[in-house]
A and B are shown apart, each in its own frame.
Chain A
Amino acid sequence: MTHGAQSRGLPTTAEFHAVIADRSDRWYAACLRITKDPDLAADAVQDGLLSAWRKREQYDRDASLDTWIHRITINAALQLLRKRKPERWLPMLEEQVDTTTLPESAQSDRELEASLGRALSALSDMEQLCFVLKHLEQWRLAEIAERLDVNVGTIKQALFRGVRKLRIGMPDLRSTP
């Protein structure tokens, strides 16, 4: 299969292995920022990879395999978050910000806070998600709205609020060694 795939220009297992070795840190980091749960992030990467493998006929050789898989893993992370964490997903979309930390996510939240920075942790879940997808993942606003199943105006408002909070927090962030 690997040989056949190569002859048709499909990405091979060796190419998948190489890109996993080189780039999966980025996919995992992106999924972790979205899910805020290490297990969910790991599952999202695996789901994304297997999905990419299954539909590798759709892969365009002119594009980067890393970028293509990255995108698929982000989608997998959003799907898993919606499916497995409805208690976070639904209020997030309704902008009912719950600041209570769930016991099971307390540890991962602490780890995230250290790695993502204090500025981002000041944002609500929805604001964080919109900021991550827009600023770090560089999705279009319309794509984010479609994926989250809300209107573009909602995404814009979450982004505006998130960036305002970030800017308020920035002087403090800059003073942090």
Chain B
Amino acid sequence: MIDDDQLLLFYYDDGLSSDERDAIRDAIATDTAVADRYRALQATLGDVGDFGAIRAPDHLKYQWQDAITQAARRETAPTSPSRPTFLLWGSALAASLFVAFAIGTQVGSLEDTKAPTAVTSLPSNAAFARGLQVHLQQASTLIEAPTDATTADTAALVNQIVAQNRLFERAAEAREAHDVARLMRAIEPVLVRLADPDVSPVEANALRLQVAFELNAVLTKIEQTASEVTETI
């Protein structure tokens, strides 16, 4: 007796031996009842073949295209042997970030043992939160500050910030702070557009404002949450 589960596997042409397939094929050809059940199954599955259109929002498509553009650009970005003075800001940023993170890790590991936070959307590790704050504050300052840096300098600086954003994004993911990770990812396309040599001064200013706004939004959220946690404690 051939049951509907076997007919289903026959329909998908998967999960049956060749002997089983042959037996089912013969049964469909010779047994009206089996043939009727198979047609009914085909009709059901045909009806559920299309659940209607789901469209990706346009801003996501732009973001995905931009992610590819930037991935391609990063592969070809020349590594300059010289380090313009302007880039010292970037180095300072990286260094201070490392120090903040290292110190924070020591302090944070102690704090975490006595004050586990109930906030699930932000990092559970205080060191991570402090390191992220330092990064965002310094990145905001650098992005907002008017500069006479060359396009290459700006691109190098942005690349450094992007690289650090990614470190924090990964760290956020590891701490299951997915909304923070998502915000870090959302900032990246704007940052890389800012580094684009084709960007006009007007657009660059608009992008700077946008990045600063996004960075400050994350920063504010972190500070608010830190305050809430403190009050809870």
Contacts and interface: CB of A to CB of B under 8 A. Distances in A.
Contact of A39 (B9, B71, B173, B182): B182
B56 A156 contact: no
Contact of A13 (B15, B45, B52, B69): B69
B114 interface: no
B53 interface: yes
A45 B14 contact: no
A166 B65 CA distance: 37
Contacts of A159: 8
Interface size class of A (residues with CB under 8 A): 35 or more
A54 B15 CA distance: 34
Interface string B19-55: 0000000000000000000000100110111011111
A152 B65 CA distance: 37
A119 B76 contact: no
B60 to A, nearest CB: 5
B171 interface: no
Contacts, number: 108
Contacts of B8: 159-160, 163
B15 A16 contact: no
Contact of B51 (A13, A27, A117): A117
A7 to B, nearest CB: 14
Given A16-B65, A49-B68, A170 B47 contact: yes
B65 A117 contact: no
A140 B44 contact: no
A32 B60 CA distance: 14
Contacts of B48: 117, 119-120, 135, 166, 170, 173
B198 interface: no
Given A43-B182, A45-B56, A84-B178, 8 more contacts: A29-B54, A29-B55, A42-B56, A135-B48, A135-B49, A160-B8, A170-B48, A173-B48
Interface of A: 1-2, 13, 16-17, 20-21, 24-25, 27-29, 32-33, 39, 42-43, 45-46, 49-50, 53-54, 83-84, 115-117, 119-120, 134-136, 140-141, 152, 156, 159-160, 163-164, 166-167, 170, 173-174
